Chain A
Amino acid sequence: MAQVILDRLVATFTAGEIEEIGSQHGNEWARVRRDAWTSVCAFLRDDSTTDMKMASDLTCVDRMGREPRFDVVLHLYSVTMKHRVRLYAGVPEDDCAVDSVVGIWPGMDWFEREAYDLYGVRFRGHPDLRRILMYPEFVGHPLRKDYPKEKRQPLVRRSGIPGSPE
């Protein structure tokens, strides 16, 4: 469907920035080296043959047990070319950060805050990296695979009922 995007990427970034490419069910994807994340994104937006002016989604995947542990996933779309591509960047747990793409697509602001809130991946250069869904008192990142799925951190509870912290 959009092999032209992968061809452009492989032809342009020849120093190993594109670690892996693939296509499944008509959806193209590319795994990008973490330090080239923003330069690849800026290229895809500005190149006339790709023209990815719209970023439709940014999220994260916790592949616990694999190295690097996290994948930041970015879905791009071109309004003029009507083609899509999916980008991955592997993020290790001990240096859990990747460059922010807010400077390239300002709409990715809240998506990166959500990924930071739920997975704990920091986005370098983000203008306001705060929690967006959970409250500031919350400790940890609830969508990480090692967060206990029912561990609640109550802000308020009635006293004297079973299970209450008092």
Chain B
Amino acid sequence: MGLEIYNSTVQAAVNWARKFSLFQYPFVTACCGMEFMSTAAPKYDLARFGAEFPRFSPRQADLLIIVGTITERQGPALRRVYDQMCEPKWVVAFGVCASTGGFYQNYSTVPGADQIIPVDVYIPGCPPRPEQVLDALILLQERIQRGEGHSQLTLRAEAGHDVPIAAIRPRDKAPVGADKPE
């Protein structure tokens, strides 16, 4: 009993450290890259949330941001980049093309990067506004703190813990209109 309390406290501290020191690997393939640069630049300043440096080696990164269309030909490269990252790792699909294929419904485009690797957070938009990206990052940080990133869940399951099916919980905020009296 005492050991479990100790473990969960340590786990919370470790997850707190993880969520504020994300090292991102931007897998930039298309026009969404401009919006990603804008988000990373000083005006919106992704660094405020601890996601400071883009690491251009997957071995030094723990957050894979898929920015842009993934074609079938790029699939093996994306898979290899993901496999090279150390665990625990997180994946964000940036924009509709990375999330679902977007309007490319044809022979060459993968209908969503989650056909190839697991994805934690999807950002809609063509391209998404920087505010949406920051929102997604905060959403991801909440999931990291709860230990619900896909690779966190996998690691816990491999360690023999009872892991529920990864549920995408809504963020902790009141539903729209809840504060208004009827």
A interface with B by C-beta (< 8 Å):
133-135, 142, 147-158, 161, 163-164
Kindly list chain B residues whose C-beta atoms are within 8 Å of the C-beta of A164. Answer: 115
Residues of A within 8 A of B50 (CB): none
Residues 85-110 of B at the A interface (beta carbon under 8 Å): 105-108, 110
Query: A149, A153, A163: which contacts B72 (Cβ < 8 A)?
Result: A153
Contact call A154/B105, Cβ cutoff below 8 A: no
Chain B residues whose C-beta falls within 8 Å of the C-beta of A157 in the assembled complex: 75, 115-116
Chain B residues near A154 (CB-CB < 8 A): 72, 75, 110, 115
Which A residues touch B108, using CB under 8 A? Answer: 133-134, 142, 152
Ordered by A's residue number, 26 sampled pairs between the chains whose C-beta atoms are within 8 Å are A133-B108, A134-B73, A134-B108, A135-B73, A147-B107, A150-B106, A152-B108, A152-B111, A153-B107, A154-B75, A154-B110, A155-B73, A155-B75, A155-B76, A156-B75, A156-B79, A156-B116, A157-B75, A157-B115, A157-B116, A158-B114, A158-B116, A158-B118, A161-B114, A161-B115, A163-B115
Chain B residues within an 8 Å CB radius of A134: 73, 108
Contact indicator A150/B105 (Cβ below 8 Å): yes
* Nearest-CB residue, chain B, relative to A135: B73
In the complex, what residue of chain A is closest to B115 when comparing beta carbons?
A157
Query: Interface on chain B toward A: helix, strand, loop, or mixed SS?
Result: loop
Given the known interface contacts A134-B73, A156-B75, the answer about A151 and B107 at a Cβ–Cβ threshold of 8 Å is yes
Q: Which of A142, A155, A158, A161 contacts B107 (CB 8 A)?
A: A142
CA distance A150 to B116 in the complex (A): 18
B117 within 8 A of A: yes
Do B75 and A150 touch (CB < 8 A)?
Answer: no
Complex CA distance for A155 and B72, rounded to whole angstroms: 6
Note all chain B residues with C-beta closer than 8 A to A152. 72, 107-108, 110-111
Q: Does B73 contact A158, Cβ atoms closer than 8 Å?
A: no
